[in-house]
Amino acid sequence: MDENIVTKETNILFEVGTNELELLEFYITEEATAGGEERTYFGMNVAKVMQVSEQPDRDDHQHDQHPSFLGVIRLREHALPLIDLSVWLGMKRMKSAQDVVIVTEFSQSVTGFLVSGVTEIHRVGWDEVAPPEGFLGRIATGCLIGTVDRNDRIIQLLDLESVLVDLTPTAGEDAHLARVKAFKTYRALVADDSPTIRQMIERNLRSANFIPEIAGDGQHALETLLRYKAQAEAEGKPLTDLVAIVISDIEMPRMDGFTLTKHIKSDPGLHKLPVILYSSIITDELRHKGVSVGADEQISKPEIYRVAERAIALIEGS
């Protein structure tokens, strides 16, 4: 296998706000009930992938860890954990010498995921990504972002953040409570498809005197904003009386956060609303994407506990 099938130098979409992503498709092979092999196909955002390589040597774990933890591998200057993704997903992978490791970098962590193989890279629109609800698969929808129909197969987009949260849980319920409070109560529109992340942000915002309103994706958030805009115009009041700020994830089915922000900032009735984008893929080298669509602030998911603090600064100018 060519380990340079994808690298950080070649995997980034140059256009921003097109509501598209590049998707690395991979699979896990299990033994079929009637004999033979059965593949289940998954996908992850290429922006999170450093490289794909053959199985490297590893230092086996010597103490009790999550069952999916295989040990530590070394990649250039990194010593990183190797996770058997099939174990975490509750699948029985057929072991093979051709198994590969997908090395990812997101949420300020570098991690290796062992899978059966990699197929290709797809460029898809977020409007092609169907929400996982209603998909009759064996994988729990709580760890899926959505699904993509490729005619002969369904590709399930994994929520890799949920893997890391499960393997390295936060310490204590107060970890995401804000340390500041707004001078008055503000309504914040939050767009995110992950129930886990939504709960973290809700706790953070409520503790800082915000009323969070939840939208399950960017399209839902835009529809909500247009409804508020019409209401504000009809009642002759400022839009900020109804909603003071938009806080959005980047990776969402139907409409991503970049495209949502682009719509907000190009609409004369919405463009003054401050927008905070957050994602595990926000890094110094990718921050220009949020800037290009007009985001007022960008937060990496490991710093999600700062969302209320940043929101207050944007609204109150402190």
Mean pLDDT by runs of 10 across the 318 residues of the chain is: 44 64 93 84 91 76 71 80 91 90 86 93 90 69 83 88 72 60 94 86 93 95 97 95 96 92 96 93 76 92 86 88
Q: Determine the pLDDT at residue 143.
A: 81
Handedness of CA 196, 200, 205, 207 (dihedral sign): positive
Residue type, 49: V
**Residue in the block written with tokens 């062992």:** 114
For the chain, domain boundaries: 20-167, 173-316
What distances in angstroms separate CA 226 from CA 103, 104, 231, 292, one per listed residue?
40, 37, 9, 22
Q: Nearest CA to 246 among 268, 215, 267?
A: 215
Please tell me the predicted confidence (pLDDT) of residue 247: 97
Domain 20-167 has CATH 2.40.50.180: yes
Determine the pLDDT at residue 21: 85
pLDDT of res. 141: 63
pLDDT at 59: 66
As a whole number of angstroms, the distance between CA 135 and CA 155 comes to 11
Side-chain-side CA neighbours of 235 within 13 Å: the count stands at: 12
* CA distances for 129 relative to 14, 18, 23, 248, angstroms: 20, 14, 11, 17
DSSP secondary structure of the chain? --TTSS-TTT---S--SSSEEEEEEEEEEEE-TTSSEEEEEEEEEGGGEEEEEEPPPEEE--S---TTEEEEEEETTEEEEEEEHHHHHT--B---TT-EEEEEEETTEEEEEEESEEEEEEEEEGGG-B-STT---SS-GGGEEEEEE-SS-EEEEE-HHHHHHHHS--SSGGGG--S---SS-EEEEEE-S-HHHHHHHHHHHHTTTEEEEEESSHHHHHHHHHHHHHHHHHHT--GGGT--EEEEES--SSS-HHHHHHHHHH-TTTTTS-EEEEETT--TTTHHHHHHTT-SEEEEGGGGGGHHHHHHHHHH--
* Other Cβ atoms within 10 Å of 228 Cβ, number: 21
Q: How far apart are the first and last CA of the chain?
A: 53
Report how far residue 179's alpha carbon sits from residue 192's, in angstroms, rounded to the nearest whole number: 23
- What is the spatial order of strands in the sheet that 78-84 belongs to? 49-54, 100-106, 109-115, 78-84, 69-75, 58-60
CA distance 51 to 37: 26
Structure tokens at 9: 């130098």
pLDDT of residue 172: 43
Candidate CATH numbers 1.10.8.10, 3.10.129.10, 3.30.930.10, 3.40.50.2300; the one for domain 173-316: 3.40.50.2300
